[in-house]
Amino acid sequence: MGDTTYRFSIGPWNIGRGADPFGPAVRPQVSFDDVLDAAIALGFEGIQFHDDDAVPDLETLPPARIMAEAEAMKRKLADRGLVPEFVAPRLWEHANGIDGGYTSNDPAARTWALERSKRAVDVALALGCELIVMWPAREGTAVRESKNPIMASAQMLDAINVILAASPQVRIAIEPKPNEPVDHAFIPTIGHALALGSRSADPARVGVLIESAHAILAGLDPSDEMGFALAAGKLWSVHLNDQNGLKFDQDKVFGAANLRGAFNQVRVLEQANYAASGAFVGFDVKAQRTQKPEAATAHLATSKAVFLKLVEKARTFPEKIAAQCIANRDYEALERTVLEHLLGR
Ligand code: GLO
Ligand code: MG
């Protein structure tokens, strides 16, 4: 067995203001420094960044200033004993990305998206981080006939190659999601992401980040998605959370909707000795809108606590009894063994 200690990470967007599509923010903005303090207090070592979390206003700054700010951020993290986990080019909030970035129907927007992605690589390297997360948020359609999926797949592949060419050091973790904010996303599942990566200029540098809710929204089991990526050595990060069926992306506390599903995600990470890979466990969770400001990080603490309890459950799972049930093809007995183990009998 290698190292069995997990490393945890969060992004600043995980300490949100409680806004939703039907109402404005209900909590004050938490400053970036306060996010870092919260990370330390909650025992999270890694910080996940959008490119403009690391360097605000990077669209308007000259390259030298972008580098200087990223280097200042690197020092800020190091002073606090924190490390950057990844940088994601945030194409989906900028006006140029209104119709998507890499797959926009506007050629000027496509050029912008590639240039912005190269800036994100610069920011990542200046931060001392080599992982780029690609969440293709608006790379898809609301009106299916508005884009050509053959062309879009080629454009996504080109974008991967542009990022890989920007530096021989960077690796890309694609974070697929089937819908929201678009109706139908291109590259909606882990299978698509890995297939695309295998066709890239350097497949060894393309892997995936699996978010539990994104798998559920695609009608798939997150632990099987993780198993598929782990079997290929491609699971480079996770966004654990939960999702109550096919709705909007809820970003619920890990295990809050389906504790058994959460257990199976932890179990497959344990089976693959994910902790020893050094990859982070992130929680892409949102505080409920009703939460008071002083308690608006409880969702992160709970997710981590549930994760650690489930690690214990995975490590104490009655493997021998389960193996006997399987050998006897007595899956009802296996079902009961699992349920009783989870119930703590
Ligand atoms: C939204 C995504 C989002 C990404 C983040 C990093 O559904 O999960 O939170 O994980 O922007 O790219
Ligand atoms: Mg996510």
CATH code, 217: 3.20.20.150
User: pLDDT grade, residue 171 (50/70/90)?
Assistant: very high
Residue 177: CB within 6 Å of ligand 1?
A: yes
Residue closest to 161 by CA, chosen among 107, 123, 114: 114
Q: Does 215 reside within a domain? A: yes
**48 CA closest ligand 1 atom index:** 6
The mean pLDDT of 193-201, rounded to a whole number, is: 98
Q: Does 296 reside within a domain? A: yes
Residue 175: CB within 6 Å of ligand 1?
A: yes
SS3 for 258-290, per residue?
CHHHHHHHHHHHHHCCHHHHCCEEEECCCCCCC
pLDDT reported for residue 217? 98
pLDDT reported for residue 284? 98
Residues in the chain: 345
Please say if the pLDDT value at position 154 is more than 80: yes
Q: For ligand 1, pick from 175, 210, 217, 283 the residue to mutate: most ligand atoms within 8 Å of CB.
A: 175
Please say if the pLDDT value at position 182 is more than 60: yes
102-150, pLDDT tens digit by residue?
999 999 999 999 999 999 999 999 999 999 999 999 999 999 999 999 9
Residue 95 CB neighbours (<10 A): 7
Q: Does 244 reside within a domain? A: yes
Question: How far, in Å, is the centroid of ligand 2 from the Cα of 336?
Answer: 33
Residue closest to 267 by CA, chosen among 219, 338, 209: 338
Residue 88: CB within 6 Å of ligand 1?
A: yes
Residue 211: CB within 6 Å of ligand 1?
A: yes
Question: How far, in Å, is the centroid of ligand 1 from the Cα of 322?
Answer: 36
Task: Say if residues 156 and 139 touch (Cβ distance below 8 Å).
Answer: yes
* Segments forming the whole domain that contains residue 28: 7-315
pLDDT reported for residue 1? 44
Residue 54: CB within 6 Å of ligand 1?
A: no
Question: How far, in Å, is the centroid of ligand 1 from the Cα of 176?
Answer: 9
Catalytic residue among 51, 52, 53, 251: 53
pLDDT reported for residue 4? 81
Residue 284: CB within 6 Å of ligand 1?
A: yes
Q: Does 159 reside within a domain? A: yes
Question: 166: Cβ–Cβ under 8 A, 6 or more apart, which residues?
Answer: 117, 118, 121, 122
**Percentage of the chain modeled with pLDDT above 70:** 99
Total domain count, the chain: 1
Q: Does 325 reside within a domain? A: no
Please say if the pLDDT value at position 237 is more than 80: yes
Q: What is the mean pLDDT of the chain?
A: 97
Question: How far, in Å, is the centroid of ligand 1 from the Cα of 90?
Answer: 9
User: pLDDT grade, residue 2 (50/70/90)?
Assistant: low
The mean pLDDT of 196-212, rounded to a whole number, is: 98
24-64, pLDDT tens digit by residue?
999 999 999 999 999 999 999 999 999 999 999 999 999 99
Residues 321, 328: Cα–Cα separation, whole Å: 11
**180 CA closest ligand 1 atom index:** 7
**211 CA closest ligand 1 atom index:** 8
Dihedral sign from CA coordinates of 214, 220, 221, 227:
negative
Angle between helices 107-127 and 149-166 (to 10 degrees): 30
Nearest ligand (C-alpha, residue 50): 1
To the query of whether residue 50 is one of the catalytic residues in this protein, the response is yes
Residues 345, 343: Cα–Cα separation, whole Å: 6
**88 CA closest ligand 1 atom index:** 12
Query: Mind giving me the DSSP string for 129-153?
Result: --EEEE--TT-EESSGGGS-HHHHH
Residue 133: CB within 6 Å of ligand 1?
A: yes
Query: Mind giving me the DSSP string for 23-50?
Result: B---SPPPPHHHHHHHHHHHT--EEEEE
The mean pLDDT of 204-231, rounded to a whole number, is: 98
Residue nearest to atom 2 of ligand 1 (CA): 135
**209 CA closest ligand 1 atom index:** 10
Q: For ligand 1, pick from 20, 93, 239, 286 the residue to mutate: most ligand atoms within 8 Å of CB.
A: 239
Q: Does 303 reside within a domain? A: yes
